[in-house]
Amino acid sequence: MSEHEHSEHIVPPGVYAAIILTLLALTIITVAAARVDLGRFNIVVALAIATIKATLVVLFFMHAKYVPRRTKLVIMAGIFWLALLLFMTLSDYFSRVDYRNIRYPISQNVEQSLELRT
């Protein structure tokens, strides 16, 4: 294998500085969003911000942006597998009924019982 067949991509330090500052800003936004009551959307906002942060880390710090197509395919397969497992787990969780005929998640039952009392 000759010296010129494989070249590494050099990322300028300014890109790393910009990504670090973006990650820090997103962390501050996450903390601020946690202090605001968004109801059921608190978890949605937190997960959206976490997804953006994880994407930045994978693309730039793990150099996934500069890898060959085959490596990108492996990364996408891993993300697909994670999504499939999460979908199956959550569909099981939301369809559960225990032996007393109480549906889960319990928070929905608590809200319904509070509505019945008033």
Cβ contact 57:23 at 8 Å: yes
Averaged over 66-73, what is the pLDDT?
Answer: 91
Average pLDDT, the chain: 83
Cβ contact 41:52 at 8 Å: no
Close Cβ partners of 65 (under 8 Å, ≥ 6 residues apart): 59
Q: Select, from the ranges 18-27, 47-56, 60-69, the one with the highest average predicted confidence (pLDDT).
A: 18-27
Containing 86, the helix (H) or strand (E) segment is: helix 69-94
The band of 93, judged by pLDDT with boundaries at 50, 70 and 90, is confident
Q: For 2-45, how does the pLDDT look when each residue is reduced to its tens digit (9 = 90+)?
A: 555 556 778 899 999 999 999 999 999 999 999 999 888 888 89
